[in-house]
A = this chain, B = another copy of it.
Amino acid sequence: MEQFVYGVDVGGTGTKIGLFNGKGFLKDTVVLETRTENKGVYILQDIKAAIFENMQKHGITPQQVKGVGVGVPGPVLGDGTVLKCVNLGWDVFNVAKQLQLITGLNVKAGNDANVAALGEVYRGGGQGFSNIVMITLGTGIGGGIIINGKIFEGATGSAGEIGHIMVNDEENELCSCGRRGCFEQYCSATGVVKLMKKYLLTHPDDSELRKLPKYTAKEIYDAAKNGDAPAIEVTKKVGEIMGITLAKIATVVNPDAFVIGGGMAKAGQIIIDSLLPSFKANVFHAAKSTEFKLATLGNLAGIYGAAKMIFDE
């Protein structure tokens, strides 16, 4: 009897569902809107309906479903308990048990950033490594730690929250977490754009970015690659902060590799090249050989990792 696994990635606006065969190949994907109204009470029902519809489409029986892995945007304990998901309207409850109850299927749940990290180790930029720290450079900075090939959740499900390492105790602006000077205030896609705007406001230099009404972090890196002096200045500064911060993490965690993903990482190798000098200068010698890889699965990392949680059972 052929076996299948579903990998589900619940986001604040959309939910992605992947159907994987027993060998871990992605056979089909479904995308649905995440209905966050009424404290997110419809979300699991919608996932159930979509999975059952997809099973019917492919002629898959419940007995053929090895399980459903789910990644959610909030801290999740090892047993599947979600400790609040602000974006979804969820309070504390066991999402794995709840989805298992309404579907009759085997369910495992994890934090979305951790699950994406697992996905990258399974089929992405982290292949071949067993201990990685994944960094997702987006609106904020997400992170996930994989140890011995498995997600490390930490005591309260927040291991790998590297976006909120304090890197500047003189910052005046608030971070989304309520504190000041967090890593993501400078090195997330949002942070890089903010630094660039500040730079252009306070320096008279010519820059191709001045002609754009709006620009992304990736466009700033692209400008730097094209020799745009202010963009080079800002990406160098961002690389310095990133290198120092990742050096601290490597000194403590000593991973095989960092895997860097998220929208900003689409800029490519320049992200790694610009952080390496300050990384090397600030890391403990035994961790100097830590490798850096770009993530390769993009926004599919979540469903791959979610499925992998089931394959690993």
Contacts and interface: CB of A to CB of B under 8 A. Distances in A.
A254 B155 contact: yes
Interface residues of A, number: 43
A162 B289 contact: no
Interface stretch (A32-40, A52-60, A217-225, A243-251): A243-251
Contact of A286 (B145, B161, B253): B161
Contacts of A159: 252-254
Residue among A75, A147, A281, A286 having the largest count of chain B Cβ atoms under 10 Å = A286
Given A156-B289, A177-B284, A252 B253 contact: yes
Contact of A251 (B131, B164, B251, B287): B164
Copies, count: 2
Interface of A: 75, 83, 131, 143, 145, 147, 152-162, 164-166, 169, 177-179, 244, 247-249, 251-257, 281-282, 284-287, 289-290
Given A178-B285, A285-B177, A248 B166 contact: yes
Kindly name the residue among A159, A244, A251 whose own CB sees the greatest number of chain B CB atoms within 10 A.
A251
- Which residue, of A147, A157, A178, A253, has the highest number of chain B Cβ atoms within 10 A? A253
A179 B139 CA distance: 34
A249 B254 CA distance: 13
26 contacts: A83-B286, A131-B154, A131-B155, A143-B252, A145-B252, A145-B253, A154-B254, A154-B255, A154-B287, A156-B254, A156-B289, A158-B251, A158-B254, A159-B252, A160-B254, A161-B287, A162-B251, A164-B251, A164-B284, A165-B248, A166-B247, A166-B251, A177-B284, A177-B285, A178-B285, A249-B252
Given A164-B251, A252-B252, A286 B75 contact: yes
A107 to B, nearest CB: 22
Contacts of A160: 252, 254
A252 B167 CA distance: 13
Contacts of A252: 143, 145, 159-162, 165, 249, 252-253
Contacts of A257: 155
Contact of A255 (B131, B155, B281): B155
Contacts of A247: 166
Contacts of A289: 155-156
Contacts of A169: 244
Contact of A161 (B143, B158, B178, B251): B251
A286 B160 CA distance: 11
A280 to B, nearest CB: 11
A136 to B, nearest CB: 15
Given A158-B286, A166-B282, A249-B252, 17 more contacts: A145-B253, A147-B152, A155-B254, A155-B255, A155-B290, A156-B287, A158-B287, A160-B252, A162-B251, A164-B284, A165-B251, A166-B248, A166-B251, A169-B244, A177-B284, A179-B281, A252-B253
